[in-house]
Chains A and B, each alone.
Chain A
Amino acid sequence: MLFNSIDFAIFLPLVFLLYWFVFNKSLKLQNILILVSSYIFYGWWDWRFLILIFTSSLIDFVIGLKLKKEENINRRKLYLLISIFANLGLLGFFKYYNFFVDSFTMAFSFFGYQINDYNLNIILPVGISFYTFQTMSYIFDIYKRKLEPTNNIINFLAFVSFFPQLVAGPIERAINLLPQFNKKREFDFIYASDGLRQILWGFVKKILIAENCGTYINPIFADYQDHTGSTILFASIIFGFQIYCDFSGYSDIAIGTAKLFGFDLMQNFAYPFFSRNISEFWRRWHISLTTWFRDYIYFPLGGSRGNKLSIIRNTFIVFLVSGFWHGPAWTYVIYGALNGAYFLPIILKKTKTDYIGIIAQDTFFPNLKEFSLMLFNIYAIGYLWMMFRAENLNHALSMYKTVFSLSLFYKIDTFNPKVLIILSFFLGLEWIGRKYDCPLHILNNVNIFYRWIIYVLLILSVFYFGNFNENEFIYFQF
């Protein structure tokens, strides 16, 4: 079920009313309702997906309990390995099987050997990358004794399948989300209102911004040979905004929806395009995934301890894995590697500049240096989006060839003023609201009359200028 569909528009109010009016007397019943509705939500795509998520959840539920009782280090490691093997095995099979087969076939043929094609027609279960990482983090935290496993199967299944964040995150840590299933939720008017506001903002991003960006850039990428290098680079930068609005829009809807039910999910994006360097960008982009990699791969490898060579190694490993996480294609792996390469100047620099707070924290406008850094960051990352967006390696290399030619200095040949106007309006609003986790929260202190006028204008903007193709969110394919 897509968030931007009539099915969800009927589903959500129904579940909301049942949750707060019928099942509110009992925490257990509320959690059962969450579980059932989450499985309905997920099964709406394909009922067979439910078998997979249930199996995956059950394995980790049992292993979690085993880890609690087990004191022997070797047996604990064995349970951990079983969980990792099971989770990554399922993920690997459904997501990466054909990729590995194709890569092996290509490698063998490179050396002159022809092997049979063992490709399978495997359907990729929506959200598998997300919930797999979510359950893996549960097991890791139990193994490290940071978290007590739950013996409540309903709560655990509900935690894994919680419908607002099931298919595209945020990837929640059990430490944050699981206790919320054990605690009675009271309806909070302000919290729920914030939730609705965040849902509205999510739809503005998805339907108004992301879809219009897509309409502009898709023909450019489809026929890149007919465009100048400057146009391809420009389209690449716009793609960055498209994917940001699409993905963060989904996250906003997910977080807002969770608030309606009294749940607090983590912030997944913190205005990454206002970053001053690549390091800050990755601290603000897809936070739930980047912190997952930081905590479960980067830190165990040694993190920033050790010499520069080991930091570089750890950084590259994280970005290669992160790139590969996005999908079974070499373009994603190379995208990851390029990001790692972007970190080299920061790692090698003698004095570190960590941009921690939000840009222009004490002023309304950024100073010239901050503004230049922001623009340069957006421009530099634009080169990376090309690799991410490319259909395959040949496509990517051809585009780079065009971009790194004289035509980079030619005029942009395909211009869409509507997209620029919409993007400017959007970035302006984000800039004004950058100190909040959702820009619309600045309306909290505005008179209700004016607040409602703004909401109505936003809804009308989405209606009249948005693109309603019921397209899936981009990150569903991951």
Chain B
Amino acid sequence: MTDRISISVTVNGATHTADVEPRLLLADFIRENLDLTGTHVGCEHGICGACTILMNGDSVRSCLTLAVQADGAEIETVENLGDAENLGPLQQAFREHHALQCGFCTPGMLMTATDMLRKYPLETDEDIRDGLSGNICRCTGYQHIVDAVRAARDERDAK
């Protein structure tokens, strides 16, 4: 049996300490230990993007990160973007453009788009599609997701 390791992780502003197995994935720590089930686990090998979160401000696959590697990190999950009564701007854009059907991929899309909007100009739809290419939507509603991210880009650029 391997030794558990003590970690301290700040998630959505609250600091949590826990003793975890080294093999515990950050996605499972977030979902199972912290009950933050907005972060979804799809493929568990970095292809689908559903588990994307922000770690120290950068989008990260939480299924490709060990919880022990997040020791000392600041994590943001989809729960931090807003809630049902107070949607964040990107969530509002998704709502207005019908950018979700079943919603399984949505948390990963939102976290990925949050990082894309911070890091890239996203001048064209092709840029937006390239940026979203690491997130799979099984309902294949990509057009509306692109529409929502474009609207969020326009809102960003108007400021």
Q: Is B one of A's binding partners?
A: no
* Chain A residues in the interface with B (C-beta under 8 A): none
